[in-house]
A and B are shown apart, each in its own frame.
Chain A
Amino acid sequence: MKDMILEYIKNEYLDEDEAEDTDLNENTPLISGGIVDSFSMVSLKRFLEKKFSISIPDDEASPQAFDTVTSIIALVNRHLAKKGA
């Protein structure tokens, strides 16, 4: 899951030069680091919902929840667990 999300962020939110200059890992700050802004978060949320067949309520799609890939994975896992329950 981690690699898939990192790959998506690299391809969609960083351009070529930027991707080479940015050390992107699961703890890189995405929102507070200016890589993904609050508007672009919507397309990232849509990607996660589609990829993992979950629905993330808007009030859970906060800048904090989307700030690192680690926090995004935690959010996705919570919803996957809910779905499985």
Chain B
Amino acid sequence: MAFDYEQLRREITWDVGKRELGYVEGAPLNLGYLCADRHVDHGRGDKLALIHEGHEGGVRQFTFRDLQQLTNGWAHFLRGSVFIRQLDRVCLFLDKSPELYVGFLGILKTGAVVEPLFSAFGEDALVARMLDSRATAIITERRHLGKVRKARERLPDLKTIIVIDQEDDSRKLREGEIEYRMMDHREDRFTIAPTYAESPSVLHYTSGTTGAPKGAMHVHGSIFAQYLTSKVVLDIRDHDIYWCTADPGWVTGTSYGIIGPWALGATQVVLDAGFSSDRWYETIEKHRVTVWYTAPTAIRMLMKDGVEPVRKRNMTGLRHMCSVGEPLNPEAVRWGHEAFGLWFHDTFWQTETGSIVVTNLPGMPVKPGSMGRPFPALTATVVEPKTGQPIAEVGRVGLIAIKPPWPSMMRTYWNNTATYYGKFLNGWYICGDQASVDKEGYFWFCGRDDDVINTAGHLVGPFEIESALLEHPAVAESAAIGKPDPVNMEVVKAFVALRPGFLAGVDLELDIMNFVRKKLSPLAMPQEIEFVDKVPKTRSGKILRRVLKAKELGQPIGDVSTMDDD
């Protein structure tokens, strides 16, 4: 049957998601219950929820009944022993262990807000986010405890550090640190906090051009959108084995690595290991993955090894593939088809939207390089940057805009309402990305509308990097831009002017790179540093990143009348 987008627009509404999740308007609603207990209540407690493979190859399996009991265990512990109350912020700072996935739902059952933190964050990145959120507890593991202990000295609101893997022979925990072994705490019952569709649930920090990272606050009702998009876009069905390769430190890893698939009652695979093409293909083959949601950077890294490694494996079960994080280039889409006999379906969304907003849908003809069309339950367009007026002209570039509301849109930036309201123009939510729309309604990505760096699908704020660089004793001035990269889309390039007495050279470059990596994260580490006499700025001291970027790309520099040329 031919693909009929207009029919989907008529059939797929947010009410479908609400109805299928059994929601009654105004009644209590809790993400933790919907992703775990509901399946047990519907007689599906023995179905596999999680197949977890560690980097050493050990596999652990969890049913939905396990999820129910273990999330109850977490919730009892957090409420009874850590004294977590509704709306407290509780951080998860873990590698991709089962404790992360189960703990996420356990926190939500208490009515507290989950704040996921990428486990490769350095001390300063932790402090910036936790100081802003005033988190009272953090769940971590021995491997990352050192960073948390250092950060704690600057976090007056942090009362409890929970360690999931303390061994008898481990070094002793300190005051305010408490051990919790998830598998020892199963509970059949827990009185779930009275949360509602509009109750805060997940606080994800994201980077902007200026200032510290901003906390996008989501609510329990986001599940209506995550459920429906997982069903319609990712096409997850009852017998599927689904693998989302994203880390729950980022929004894809929670919206589509926890909430969406488990709202559907799907079995999902988690691989807690660094990237290796062989290991990834082995995972698909071994666990018979049928639906795969990954990222352009990973696909381009797989491309480097060619199609032969794919053909050596039996991956015939794979039936649907999607991609997210940055635009998927046409070559990668075509390579996917050659290697797997399937198209990668590109999807577009962001931390603030909470769920997929523009996408290639199953059955829809794929135009390699296009982001696809608006998710049928919502309205998206491109608008004039100054007025917010929708652009009717085919092919003209504007800003991607979504008509609010939709269930998973952020409700505010934590502590930053003014910036939140600044995201709206003429009644549209403005994503900050530029695109054009072709005559068949397909969106084509053109670039960011700001200086935020998109590296391997993760947004990194130049201001954060520049601030970290300035803390290095050799650095007098700094600027950071995104430099085009064939694998990661962009990588961080820094421009540094040195203080007197310091000499540019490889030693210093390496020292500065590692300095930023430890302070912020590997993603924020400049992959290249150019030593300059001074950083171009306006007379009022604003860094002219566009000048540096234009020089880097060999493009015209444009208007420099405001540049301070002293």
B276 engages A21 (CB within 8 Å): no
A31 engages B171 (CB within 8 Å): no
For B278, give the chain A residue with the smallest CB separation: A64
CB distance from B378 to the nearest CB of A (A): 34
What chain B residues lie within 8 Å of A37 (beta carbons)? 120, 274, 522
From A17, A29, A31, contact of B143 by CB (8 A): A17
From A16, A39, A49, contact of B523 by CB (8 A): A39
What chain B residues lie within 8 Å of A29 (beta carbons)? 55, 274
Best-surrounded residue of A20, A32, A43 (most CB of chain B within 10 A):
A43
Q: Does A3 sit at the interface, judged by CB under 8 A?
A: no
Q: Does A7 sit at the interface, judged by CB under 8 A?
A: no
For A11, give the chain B residue with the smallest CB separation: B514
A50 engages B507 (CB within 8 Å): yes
A46 engages B142 (CB within 8 Å): no
Q: Does A84 sit at the interface, judged by CB under 8 A?
A: no
- C-beta contact mask, B67-107 vs A, less than 8 Å → 1, else 0? 00000000000000000000000000001000000000000
What chain A residues lie within 8 Å of B513 (beta carbons)? 42-43, 46
CB distance from B47 to the nearest CB of A (A): 29
From B120, B146, B279, contact of A17 by CB (8 A): B146
Q: Does B235 sit at the interface, judged by CB under 8 A?
A: no
- C-beta contact mask, A43-66 vs B, less than 8 Å → 1, else 0? 100110110000000010011100
Q: Does B510 sit at the interface, judged by CB under 8 A?
A: yes
* CB-CB under 8 A for A31 and B275, given A47-B510, A50-B507: yes
A42 engages B525 (CB within 8 Å): yes
A32 engages B514 (CB within 8 Å): no
- The interface size of chain A toward B, counting residues with CB under 8 Å, comes to 30
What chain A residues lie within 8 Å of B456 (beta carbons)? 38-39
Q: A interface, by DSSP: helix, strand, loop or mixed?
A: loop
For B142, give the chain A residue with the smallest CB separation: A21
What chain A residues lie within 8 Å of B304 (beta carbons)? 59, 62
For A31, give the chain B residue with the smallest CB separation: B274
Q: Does B273 sit at the interface, judged by CB under 8 A?
A: yes
From B95, B147, B276, B277, contact of A15 by CB (8 A): B147
Best-surrounded residue of B272, B276, B304, B456 (most CB of chain A within 10 A):
B276
A40 engages B522 (CB within 8 Å): yes
* CB-CB under 8 A for A50 and B506, given A17-B146, A20-B171, A43-B514: yes
A33 engages B273 (CB within 8 Å): yes
Extra pairs beyond A31-B276, A46-B513 (17, CB < 8 Å) = A12-B514, A17-B146, A18-B142, A21-B143, A21-B170, A29-B274, A32-B273, A32-B276, A33-B274, A34-B274, A38-B275, A39-B455, A42-B513, A42-B527, A43-B510, A43-B514, A62-B304
Pairs of residues from A and B, 7 with the lowest C-beta to C-beta distance, nearest first: A39-B522, A17-B146, A15-B146, A31-B274, A40-B522, A50-B506, A32-B274
16 chain-A/chain-B pairs, Cβ below 8 angstroms: A17-B146, A18-B142, A18-B144, A20-B171, A29-B274, A31-B276, A32-B276, A37-B274, A39-B525, A39-B527, A40-B517, A43-B517, A50-B507, A63-B275, A63-B277, A64-B278
